[in-house]
Structure 1
């Protein structure tokens, strides 16, 4: 029984930890200390809901709606390109260092909407959480414990991103450091957008 939990944790963790748009966005918010726990919490909740749906067979519906997946794919490309452009613009123009009292004006609602968009506009998220991970779970002795392990991996990872990014922020107070952070995030977002555009996810 414990083996099912550990398998779920390792399989889900191995997929979630891979650097993606969602992780980059949450980490950026954490370094800014800007509604980062809300952002991370939304990612955790989304993963748990999608994984649960996948374990109950909802993922099979994806295979019957290739047009919808293609629309999501191109919306994701556009949104990721927009985020990349913003980050790269900040990297070129520069901005003030980290200031707990300063903000770029984003409200909690705006951060949550952006987090949701980064999550739902990536078709790979659905293939991973609704098809790939549940397909492994279906072979386990306890599907419930496998799901608990998979969900725990998501909660653990996004908690680490939120906590770790915020913990590092005092050492990232210089404008040059912010340029580097924005530059890295911008390049990552752009690379993911290009990959999504030229190489559609395959179930």
Structure 2
């Protein structure tokens, strides 16, 4: 039972920081666009990554040492492009400000963005695969630890998404949406720089 509570606590601590994925989920909740699907994708993706971290991460990272570099480059590129899109939306002050129920993004596009923000973000792998995998090696049984961590993901993502629905009245003004999109853009760029910095630093040292 102790392993379950350890997994639950660790799961919450890993995903509570507002990153690219959580910011996107919060925005979808406020706009009321494909919310259940986005929450489910985030939670299931976390569950898959946690399962891999608990039962097999060490083998893959040992066999493919360049995987971290590839993940960082792909993730940074996507975050840079998504940040440009967010800033453009903030400067236009139009399309992204549509009320819930109007001018919704297509289901396919929403799924694509959600999957990209989840699976192209190296921080997700570092948290769910590397860190959770390392902690799980000290827990018994591992299945109980994994169950706690996965439960934390489902509670957090669905709580964040549907909790954001209550913020709609506070965020009805178009100016607020412009500020939100602008902040998200700079958040994406900051995360992209953070992902690339270890590669840049190592190249400068050598």
Change (3 A) 1:76 1:85: same
Q: Which residue of 2 aligns with 1:115?
A: 114
Whether contact under 8 Å (1:73, 1:122) holds in the other structure is: yes
Displacement after TM superposition at 1:176 (Å):
0.8
Match of 1:36 in 2: 35
Q: Paired residue for 1:139? A: 138
Query: In the aligned structure 1, how far is the partner of 2:61 from the partner of 2:112?
Result: 24
CA distance in 2, matches of 1:148, 1:173: 38
Q: Contact (CA 8 Å) 2:76, 2:192: kept in 1 or not?
A: yes
User: Mapping of 1:1-203 within 5 angstroms?
Assistant: 1=1, 3-95=2-94, 97-104=97-104, 106-199=105-198
Counterparts of 2:116 and 2:83, CA distance in 1: 14
In structure 1, the residue matched to 2:202 is none
Stretches of structure 2 lacking an aligned partner (at least 5 in a row): 200-206
**For each residue in 1:31-69, what CA deviation from the matched residue of structure 2 results, as whole angstroms up to 9, or x when unmatched?**
111112211211100111111122212443123323233
Aligned-CA RMSD value: 1.7
Once the two structures are TM-superposed, the CA of residue 98 in structure 1 deviates from its matched residue by 4.5
Structure 2 residue matching 1:87: 3-state secondary structure: helix
Deviations 1:118-161 (A, max 9, x none): 11112222222222112212212321111111001111111122
Residues 22 and 118 of structure 1 are in contact (CA less than 8 Å); yes or no, is this contact kept in structure 2? yes
The 8 Å contact of residues 32 and 101 in structure 2, kept in 1 or not, is answered as no
Q: 1:83·1:189 contact (CA, 8 Å) conserved in 2?
A: yes
Regions of 4+ moved over 3 Å = none
State whether residues 33 and 101 of structure 2, in contact with CA within 8 Å, keep that contact through their aligned partners in structure 1: no
Cα deviation digits, residues 163-198 of structure 1 (max 9, x gap):
122221232111111112111211111111111111
Q: How far is 1:9 from its partner?
A: 0.9
Q: Which moved more, 1:186-195 or 1:59-68?
A: 59-68
Q: How much has 1:101 moved relative to structure 2? A: 2.8
